[in-house]
Amino acid sequence: MNVSNQKNLVNVTDTLRGRDFLSLHDYRRQEIEELLALARQLKALQKAGKPHSLLEGKTLGMIFTKSSTRTRVSFEVGMYQLGGHALFLSGQDIQIGRGEPIRDTARVLSRYVDGIMIRTFAHQDVVDLAQYAEVPVINGLTDLLHPCQVLADLLTIVEYKGRTEGLKFTYIGDGNNMAHEIMFGGAITGMDVVICTPEGYGPDQEIVRLATEDAQKNGGKITLLHDPVEAARGADVLYTDVWASMGQEEETAKRIKAFQGYQINESILQVAHKEAMVLHCLPAHRGEEITHEVMEGPQSAVFDQAENRLHAQKAIMAATM
């Protein structure tokens, strides 16, 4: 890849340089669309075997207090493909695990690395890290939000549907970090988002309020329902997540009982749009929130979606770092 082509890629998102990536809510629609366009360009270059060393000589510090498969591998491989280097830092490897204030860790790491990705439990930890760091901070996941996943989801939807505008995006399951970020991502890109949860497991009301404001500005809509069949009717995208997330293991038995019927299965597919696509952020508990047949069926885009974590995150890193 020649220098002029690299400049063309980077110039797509010059306005994003140095920005934190904590939530899609922090970004304008045009900026999200620019990130998606960059992700598609980087994916095409990678598939063609062409180098795209936009971050040559740069280093990403990756803080994990919450374990992961896809997040670690996709960020580490992504930095390698961009010509940079990634450092894995578990909670036991750094002084946060021994009580060092996040503000101190942020300021020290900023002297060593060019960007920080953090995957953790409390969202406030990410906010604090971003406040005190002098380099871009990327939210790899918190209990409140998961922007990297939803940017990959949007990339997958655009690849399959050619657009986001006017699509019905139905999420069935827990009102968790995925539901929250799906509302933000779907609202900002002009989709009609339906969040369907059991009573008592709905999304955070402040997130609903903010997402509704985003939807009003961008031609989308947010709807909260409790009936999975009604929620799935005519849906272009069906999405689900595990019923008990990491850290909720003690609630598993209670949640399995509460979430009976909130499953993406053949019956739900029958009421959705005939060309509806099925997404799941993984890991999946087959037989609970999704059936094996649907996950392996022709309407499933789950593994393309998982791959797109790599390409979407490369766009985030290239744009911000």
Domain borders along the chain are: 14-145+309-320, 149-306
Would you say 49 and 81 are in contact if contact means Cβ atoms under 8 Å apart? Answer: no
Q: Do domains 14-145+309-320 and 149-306 have the same CATH topology?
A: yes
- Mean pLDDT check: name the lowest of 31-35, 96-100, 180-184, 274-278: 96-100
Is 71 annotated in a binding site? The answer is yes
Res 13: pLDDT: 59
Q: What are 134-191's pLDDT values in tens digits? A: 999 999 999 999 999 999 999 999 999 999 999 999 999 999 999 999 999 999 999 9
**Runs of H (alpha helix) within the chain:** 3-11, 29-47, 70-81, 102-110, 123-132, 147-161, 177-188, 205-218, 228-232, 252-258, 266-271, 292-295, 302-320
Res 14 pLDDT > 80? no
Res 246: pLDDT: 72
Res 252: pLDDT: 87
Q: What amino acid positions are annotated as catalytic residues?
A: 119, 146, 149, 241, 281, 309
CA 264 to chain centre: 20
Is 282 annotated in a binding site? The answer is yes
Q: How confident is the model at residue 92 (pLDDT cuts 50, 70, 90)?
A: confident
Mean pLDDT of 75-96: 92
Res 12: pLDDT: 57
Mean pLDDT of 92-102: 80
Is 233 annotated in a binding site? The answer is no
Fold of 14-145+309-320: Rossmann fold (3.40.50)
Q: How confident is the model at residue 250 (pLDDT cuts 50, 70, 90)?
A: confident
CATH number of 149-306: 3.40.50.1370
Is 167 annotated in a binding site? The answer is no
Sorted by sequence, the CB contacts under 8 Å of residue 46 that are 6+ apart come out as 52, 81, 311
**3, HSE (Cβ side, Cα atoms, 13 Å):** 0
Q: How confident is the model at residue 315 (pLDDT cuts 50, 70, 90)?
A: very high
Res 5: pLDDT: 53
pTM for this predicted structure: 0.96
Q: What are 195-206's pLDDT values in tens digits? A: 999 999 999 999
Res 8: pLDDT: 63
- Angle CA 158–31–42, to nearest 5: 55
Is 174 annotated in a binding site? The answer is no
Structure tokens at 291: 């059936």
Q: How confident is the model at residue 3 (pLDDT cuts 50, 70, 90)?
A: very low
